[in-house]
Amino acid sequence: MIKAILIFNNHGKPRLIRFYQYFAEDMQQQIIRETFHLVSKRDDNVCNFLEGGSLIGGSDYKLIYRHYATLYFVFCVDSSESELGILDLIQVFVETLDKCFENVCELDLIFHMDKVHYILQEVVMGGMVLETNMNEIVAQVELQNRMEKSEVNQVI
Amino acid sequence: MRMPAPIRLRELIRTIRTARTQAEEREMIQKECAAIRSSFREEDNTYRCRNVAKLLYMHMLGYPAHFGQLECLKLIASQKFTDKRIGYLGAMLLLDERQDVHLLMTNCIKNDLNHSTQYVQGLALCTLGCMGSSEMCRDLAGEVEKLLKTSNSYLRKKAALCAVHVIRKVPELMEMFLPATKNLLSEKNHGVLHTSVVLLTEMCERSPDMLSHFRKLVPQLVRILKNLIMSGYSPEHDVSGISDPFLQVRILRLLRILGKGDDDSSEAMNDILAQVATNTETSKNVGNAILYETVLTIMDIKSESGLRVLAINILGRFLLNNDKNIRYVALTSLLKTVQTDHNAVQRHRSTIVDCLKDLDVSIKRRAMELSFALVNGNNIRGMMKELLYFLDSCDPDFKADCASGIFLAAEKYAPSKRWHIDTIMRVLTTAGSYVRDDSVPNLIQLITNSVEMHAYTVQRLYKALLDDISQQPLVQVASWCIGEYGDLLVSGQCEEEEPIQVSEDEVLDVLEGLLVSNLSTPVTRGYSLTAIMKLSTRFSSLNRIKKVVSIYGSSIDVELQQRAVEYNALFKKYDHMRPALLERMPIMEKTATNGPSETVQTNGETDSTILDTKHLPSISQPASQANDLLDLLGGNDVVPIIQTTVPTKPASAGGELLDLLGDLSLTGGPTPTPASSVPMSQPPFLLDGLTSQPLFNDIAAVIPPMTAYNKNGLIIEFTFERSNPNPNIAVITIHATNSTEADMTEFVFQAAVPKTFQLQLLSPSSNVVPAFNQGSVTQVIRVLNPQKVRCYCEPRTHSASYRSRSSEISPFVLKHLQKSDECLSGAKLNIAKLKLRAASH
């Protein structure tokens, strides 16, 4: 099970936060800070797995992360998920974002936080992997966006 | 007046990004929140979705957004897809089952689960599957089950994961989903297949019945896996040339669960596992993910040995892979298999040891754990070399664990005592400050028991001290040893290596140096003071030692002061006892060889150490025992009792430390000898020579009553029984009678026991023992002795008026069965004393 998905930039500013287990608000922020602290210390040529921090972790939890340009994508998972599989999943998610936003960059995530959530929702649901086929995900997101657009006067 | 339209989300984001300080940002946020609140108050339907979106953004930045919770519900109830989309997202981010508000969603979700638009249904399923409470799940499980059977693959896959959530929240509902699982695996759609396997996995993990039921699916799963591998290029599912690796991994995991412990299932999957293991392309991560999962499955099920060897070899190859992630997972899984397939993993030992030198912290840690698991009698020397080298160079985070691991391994597999001592020395000198505090007593015990190495050890420790006094564990162990074996040091008796020439004064210089150094902790100072004291019987520079001891009698450090005062007292008033008290420590019985942490636990004390730094010396210095009595009784009115000993001290037979106590207080070991007449000095209380008298030798539950004290008209009898519910509790009832002419008033019975004991004194019947045996005072004492410690008890009396010489006090011994694998030599000890204080008149 995936406990949390965190995306933040090189300075620790959150770009997308999704917890699949209840944490109080201030705890959430603490976890973000702690995770950033752990992950940002890492060299670029070390492995992508970290024992979970004390706040979000527990002995069963790991942080699996990938660093893309200015963003860290961090998945906090327990032992029921394959570590290498999650690495691939992060890649799928990022490539999907790339397809949806055309050469995605940090600004896209900043200004379209809600859209990113919707995309993520088609990949992971309730902390479990839902769909891994990129085209499928993109297609479904597109259709829903179109539905939104077709409704007049509703611009977020 | 109409409010202006709320700003768009991207406007807000743009504005916030212009903030240069946190304070500025906060200000902007607050301003916007106020605007949003007004907008909510106006029940503005048009822009509600926009406002909630902004709220969610601010929530992500860490600002409170709870006032938007109800608004999310309103959005969910709206007819517009846009509203529902952001509303459900808001509900998932802002709400949880702790708020009652969430229940209001139930009806909306129910309606939406039956909506005509699949995307609305999808939203509802998603939300329910993320944060549905048990009540909601109960209410809506039927809808989910219906959707699990739909032909719409988009909904079916979501329903499957939603079902997993429902089952987690309300396990009893699992049965309900069973029929729907019947043809889940016949699906063509990979998304549905994937989530179906997840659902099946969840059910199998939760219920052994389900597990047996689903075993029949093994052939079907094998077929699906086969198709995935064998089918040609499928552009739809291809990831780096492999067809749907995620699904393959999922299936392999389910096969693992189904095959575990079941011969038939394992048999049925052997072929496919071998196929996957040999055919999978390993140049990309996806291939390795599958291979890795295959290896884990092979190791977990009842696979044939050829397959297992294949699996471990794959792991071995992983260890050599350039990709650090692969090396990491390989080490992780080797750690799991090292118990069951030890020999196979041993073959890769050198690669594993090489990983100790990896730059990656996570890999180093794994390699360290695995290395310790692989250490055995054959490879101990080589492994230890590597591990010591690792200890030298590793991060501080590792050093404590590594040191503990080395001590453990050394204890288990040391090829010789000399090697063992050398290894310990090496750890203490290189990582001394990181060594766990509880290792110190363990090491002391080890050293004490290596009798033939005493001279060598103390010499090496002394030399180490000359180099460096900053590492406290090293200093503590060294001080202790010098205190004990200082005579060997100055007499240059070392056989193992060139003996060094060192004078008594030099040794005392070093020890005194520790006392004054800023680097020494209070505990260390205590050690060195005691060591100096011990040397008073081993060295001839008595005056110097006396001087040091008296100086510290006015130390600010209370602990040090107390010790110094007591030692001073030893010099002044009890000099005859000094040699016996400060004698060489006997061999301590070995604790269970589980390493420091285990033995610490057996004491059941939170901060216990095996040989407590404070109390270890006190074993030979009863003066501080009295203070332990003080501590125990917590009373200021208790006068410490300096216990007498007899000048002749028999050699201890290597029994427990308790025997040592017994030997101190009693004239003999197991054989009772009469108390010799020892001239007593006359403090205002009575000191009595004591004899030992074993009470009984068997462990029968019945302990005959006995007279504990019979003197000057006061008779105290003990009767024993075992507590009914808990046979470890002995219930002692004391009866005190008084045959003198006058009542004994203010009669108080006190008891002190070793710290592993628990003592409960119930209220006495009275505190006046009437004269002429007209009545008695009774009191019940409950003693819990969980470790079945041998306990020597001596009663004492204290009375202002008793100035007569000793009369018989008959101590007794409560003997219990000693558990063979427990040793209490490390227990915090005070002499068990039963102290009576009878006011006299």
pLDDT at B746: 66
Q: What are phi and psi of B765, to 5 degrees?
A: -70, -30
pLDDT at B75: 94
The CA distance from B254 to B241, in Å, is 23
Q: What are phi and psi of B697, to 5 degrees?
A: -110, -10
B461 vs B709 pLDDT, higher one: B461
pLDDT at B749: 73
Contact A88 B130 (CB under 8 A): no
Closest CA–CA distance from residue B324 to any residue of chain A (Å): 5
pLDDT at B786: 62
User: What sign for the dihedral angle of Cα B214, B217, B218, B221?
Assistant: negative
Q: Which residue in the set B81, B98, B288 is minimally distant from A148, CB to CB?
A: B81
Vertex B791: Cα angle to B788 and B792 (nearest 5): 170
Contact A148, B82 (CB under 8 A): yes
Q: Which residue in the set A85, A110, A128 is minimally distant from B198, CB to CB?
A: A128
Encode pLDDT of A64-77 as tens digits.
999 998 999 999 99
Q: Assess whether pLDDT exceeds 90 at residue B144.
A: yes
**Closest Cα partner for B609 from B483, B518, B477?**
B477
Chain A contact set for B190 (CB, 8 A)? 132-133
pLDDT at B221: 94
Q: What is the CA radius of gyration of chain A?
A: 16
Closest CA–CA distance from residue B264 to any residue of chain A (Å): 25
Mean residue pLDDT across chain B:
77
Contact A25 B190 (CB under 8 A): no
A92 at interface of B, judged by CB pairs closer than 8 A:
yes
The CA distance from B597 to B408, in Å, is 10
Chain B contact set for A85 (CB, 8 A)? 245-246, 249, 289, 293
- Written as six digits, the tokens of B294 are 């295959």
pLDDT at B755: 63
Q: Assess whether pLDDT exceeds 80 at residue B724.
A: no
Encode pLDDT of B178-222 as tens digits.
999 988 999 899 999 999 999 999 999 999 999 999 999 999 999
Distance between the two ends of chain B, CA-based, in angstroms?
98
- pLDDT (average), residues B418-444: 86
B289 at interface of A, judged by CB pairs closer than 8 A:
yes
**Which secondary structure element, helix H or strand E, spans residue A122, and what is its range?**
none
Alpha helices, DSSP H, located in B231-323? 245-259, 263-279, 285-300, 305-320
Per-residue DSSP letter, B106: H
Minimal-distance CA residue of chain B relative to A23 = B96
- Written as six digits, the tokens of B358 are 């990896």
The CA distance from B743 to B736, in Å, is 12
Contact A5, A16 (CB under 8 A): yes
Mean residue pLDDT across chain A:
91
pLDDT at B576: 84
Minimal-distance CA residue of chain B relative to A64 = B325
Contact B236 A133 (CB under 8 A): yes
Per cent of chain A over pLDDT 90 is: 70
Query: At B839, is the secondary structure helix, strand, or coil?
Result: coil
CA dihedral B577→B581→B583→B586, nearest 10 degrees, is 140
Chain B contact set for A132 (CB, 8 A)? 190-191, 194, 239, 244, 246-247
Encode pLDDT of B88-142 as tens digits.
999 999 998 888 888 889 999 999 999 999 999 999 999 999 999 999 999 999 9
Buried b (16+ CB within 10 A) or exposed e, B72-98: bbbbbbbebbbbbbbbbbbbbbbbbbe
Chain B contact set for A147 (CB, 8 A)? 81, 117, 119
Q: Which of residues 127-146 of B touch A (CB under 8 A)?
A: 129-130
The CA distance from B483 to B448, in Å, is 12
Q: Is the pTM of this model over 0.95?
A: no
User: Residue B780 forms beta bridges with which residues?
Assistant: B733
Query: At B791, is the secondary structure helix, strand, or coil?
Result: strand
Encode pLDDT of B228-251 as tens digits.
888 766 777 777 778 889 999 999
Distance between the two ends of chain A, CA-based, in angstroms?
32
pLDDT at B703: 65
Q: Assess whether pLDDT exceeds 50 at residue A44.
A: yes
Query: At B49, is the secondary structure helix, strand, or coil?
Result: helix
Minimal-distance CA residue of chain B relative to A63 = B362
Encode pLDDT of B673-696 as tens digits.
333 333 333 333 333 333 333 333
Encode pLDDT of B160-178 as tens digits.
999 999 999 999 999 999 9
Contact B71, B36 (CB under 8 A): no
The CA distance from B154 to A122, in Å, is 10
For residue B640, name the pLDDT band (cuts at 50, 70, 90): very low
Query: At A100, is the secondary structure helix, strand, or coil?
Result: helix
- pLDDT (average), residues B506-528: 89
